Amino acid sequence: MKQLRIRVLIGVFVVAGVLSWAGARLWNSIGTLPSVPLAAPVVLALIAVVLLSTALSLRARLKAQRERRPDAKGVDPLMAARAVVFAQASALVAALVSGMYGGTGVFLLELLDIPARRDQALYAGFSVLAGIAVIASALFLERVCKLPEDEDQNRDRGAEPAA
């Protein structure tokens, strides 16, 4: 499984942000812009907490396993792979959602004199921060589950004789 690249996440964030900003401008000119839900930053923060707690739990279990503690509870490789897939999917979705709320928030900065729009801009900002927390937690979980590379294989690859 390939490691998730930060460039991909930044690209998704920027594209979603630009499209969301343009969509918010268009939607506002046609009718009323839908509101940013208060639950958005809360849900993203909960996902970040789940990812972080999973990463910390797996890291502690892997450390105990490496130190060969007698009471060490092993980590099932399939469970670790599922955790990595969950982390990568969460990071991609968080980048998309954060970009959308970021673009909407940038548009709402023009309307801060209206109290309702000021609250919406605040919710959008908190959503972006919570999305960044999800991405950071997901990347940490992915790093925790990364297998150490076999040094013998790396040495053999670099020292292959020329034919």
Residue 162 within a domain: no
Residue 52 within a domain: yes
pLDDT confidence of residue 152: 47
- Domain containing 62 equals 6-146
CB 135 within 8 A of CB 53: no
Residue 159 within a domain: no
Residue 133 within a domain: yes
Torsions phi, psi of 109, nearest 5? -60, -25
- Structural domain total, the chain: 1
Residue 156 within a domain: no
Residue 59 within a domain: yes
Residue 104 within a domain: yes
* pLDDT tens digit at each of 163 positions of the chain: 688 899 999 999 999 999 999 998 888 888 777 788 889 999 999 999 999 999 999 888 888 877 777 777 777 888 888 999 999 999 999 999 999 999 999 998 887 887 777 888 899 999 999 999 999 999 999 998 887 664 445 555 555 544 4
